Structure 1
Amino acid sequence: MINDSDSSSLVRLNIGGNKFCTTIDTLTRREPDSMLAAMFSGRHKLCQDPEKGYVFVDRDGKHFRHILNWLRDGVVPILTDSGYSELIREAEYYQLLGLIEAISSVSTKRKEDEESVAELTRTDIIKCIQSERVKFRGVNLSGLDLSKLDLSYVDFSFATLKNVFFSRANLQCAKFRDVDAENSIFHNATLRECEFTGANLRGALIAGSNLQSANLQDACLIDCSFCGADLRSAHLQSADLTNANLEGANLEGANLKGAKLSNANLKGANLQRAYLRHVNLRDTHLEGAKLDGANLLGAIR
């Protein structure tokens, strides 16, 4: 039994042959519900070497220093994925729930950071587009500045394009099928006849762009800005335009069959001859919009 009432008293630990020296306060303060805290609460008899005073714990001591550093400072070490798996296993044994949660958070952030790192540079892109039939299918280009480049006919299908700058780029007839382009910037870009089928463009800035005859069917366009964009004859069937800003956009002849327009801003938009059959316009802002010749059969207003 450890009866020393001084919580700062020294404790010697032998973890699978690896020896450590710490205090009762360190072992009990940060994670009071852990097995270690229970061991040194004074309520349990411990396996202690009578000569050298070490408390023996039959576990691999490889990562125990990381456990002590967590208990002292709340610091999660930088390890490989396999190292984190081993540390979590030890943390589970010692019932250190806070450490397990912290490791999971660090691992998740690391994966997110790795996914957001572009695989190519702007220079790499320029070199590639000088050749014919360029494809960046499935490539991670997140965060790159590709503004003002001629990227017409380039195939970006299935690529990760988060936070990419495409401002004033020529993207005519480019393919963006099923891309993840969340929060990307297409301001004043040429996007005529582009294919965005199934693309995630959530929060993207597409204001002032030319999207004539572009295909945005089934695309996620939530919170997008299309202010002043040219969407004449664009295909927007079943696209999700929830909270999208289309103020002043030209949607003449556009097909919006099945599109979601909840809280979308279409003030002053040109919707002449647009296809809006059975579309729910109840929560859509249409003040000043031109609806001459629009097909509104069955539309909810």
Structure 2
Amino acid sequence: MAKDSDSSSMVRLNIGGKKFYTTIDTLTRREPESMLAAMFSGRHTVFQDSEGYIFVDRDGKHFRHILNWLRDGAVPTLTESKFLELLREAEYYQLLGLIERIHAVINKRKEDNELDTELTRIDIIKCIQSEKVRFRGLNLSGLDLSKLDLSLVDFSYACLRNVFFSRANLQSAKFRDVDAEGSIFHNATLRECEFAGANLRGALLAGANLQSANLQDACMIDCSFCGADLRSAHLQTADLTNANLEGANLEGANLKGAKLRNANLKGANLQRAYLRHVNLRDTHLEGAKLDGANLLGAIR
């Protein structure tokens, strides 16, 4: 970033080949905990090309919607497929306010079109209050279950696509073989959870506590685990292709047979992790801590 860190300073961005002009204030004010705010907070060095553009390797198709959200809180009118594309970008940039608004719009459309899931948030709360907490095999897609106490709940085999679990307490919950593609677990408590065989493709688990969680054989392609706590987690044969684990704590985690192609492990803590025979050739490990890790036979 330019040395002048004044909030009104102009910024030139190249998002996947599309060029944008904005200000530091726009990128930091509305979503101060986002990845964009962190990039331009003045705490990090951001490099510019010879024309003064800062390059971000993402599809720039929806970035104008990102900027409009940051400028005035505007959410565009899009088809559901385009909304899901915008949601993926919002997840990448960790724009929690935009993520919530997109989920709200999608859920409202489902209600208007009478495409309700088998249970509503109120139904879930009533079940918790009555201690009837088994939702095995149900379709709960698109529900907002954020901030609820769902510890020990059995969701096995359920359809949980695009469910919003942000900041929920899910300690020791069971998610065996669930379809939770695109779900949001930001800052959720998932200690000792059972995710064996789960489809978590594209899920957002940034900041989540997954200590000792069982994620064996889970599909976690394109997942975000930025800053997540995965100490002693079981990740044997999990598919973490393109996953973002930057700054994650994987101390003592078992990654035997895990697929890590193009995974981002920059700054991750892999001390005492089990990485025997894991292919790390296309994995980004800059700044990662590998003290005491078992790397016997690993490909680097």
TM-score band, normalised by shorter chain: 0.5 to 0.7
Q: Any conservation in 2 of the 1:117–1:143 contact (CA below 8 Å)?
A: no
Aligned to 2:274: 275
Aligned to 1:175: 174
Aligned to 2:200: 201
Shift of 1:220: 0.1
Q: Does 1:146 align with 2:145?
A: yes
Q: Any conservation in 2 of the 1:117–1:140 contact (CA below 8 Å)?
A: no
In structure 1, C-alpha distance between the alignment counterparts of 2:233 and 2:132, rounded to whole Å: 25
Larger radius of gyration: 1
In structure 2, C-alpha distance between the alignment counterparts of 1:217 and 1:117, rounded to whole Å: 31
Deviations 1:103-139 (A, max 9, x none): xxxxxxxxxxx9x741100000000011235100000
Aligned to 1:246: 245
Identity of aligned residues (%): 89
In structure 2, C-alpha distance between the alignment counterparts of 1:283 and 1:258, rounded to whole Å: 15
Q: Any conservation in 2 of the 1:133–1:153 contact (CA below 8 Å)?
A: no
Alignment of 1:106-117 (within 5 A): 117=116
Aligned to 1:263: 262
In structure 2, C-alpha distance between the alignment counterparts of 1:141 and 1:219, rounded to whole Å: 20
Aligned to 1:13: none
Aligned to 1:232: 231
What secondary structure, in the 3-state scheme, does the structure 2 residue paired with 1:125 have?
A: helix
In structure 2, C-alpha distance between the alignment counterparts of 1:117 and 1:258, rounded to whole Å: 39
In structure 2, C-alpha distance between the alignment counterparts of 1:209 and 1:156, rounded to whole Å: 18
Q: Structure 1 residue runs of 4+, over 4 Å off?
A: none
Shift of 1:284: 0.1
In structure 2, C-alpha distance between the alignment counterparts of 1:242 and 1:236, rounded to whole Å: 13
Alignment of 1:81-230 (within 5 A): 117-132=116-131, 134-230=133-229
In structure 2, C-alpha distance between the alignment counterparts of 1:243 and 1:130, rounded to whole Å: 39
TM-score, normalised via structure 1 length = 0.61
| Cα RMSD, aligned residues only | 1.1
What secondary structure, in the 3-state scheme, does the structure 2 residue paired with 1:181 have?
A: coil
Aligned to 1:295: 294
Shift of 1:231: 0.1
Structure 2 unaligned blocks of 5 or more: 1-112
Give the partner amino acid of 1:287: E
In structure 2, C-alpha distance between the alignment counterparts of 1:243 and 1:201, rounded to whole Å: 13
In structure 2, C-alpha distance between the alignment counterparts of 1:131 and 1:290, rounded to whole Å: 46
Deviations 1:34-56 (A, max 9, x none): xxxxxxxxxxxxxxxxxxxxxxx
Give the partner amino acid of 2:167: R
In structure 1, C-alpha distance between the alignment counterparts of 2:274 and 2:248, rounded to whole Å: 15
In structure 1, C-alpha distance between the alignment counterparts of 2:168 and 2:146, rounded to whole Å: 5
In the alignment of these two chains, the number of paired residues is 187
In structure 1, C-alpha distance between the alignment counterparts of 2:132 and 2:144, rounded to whole Å: 21
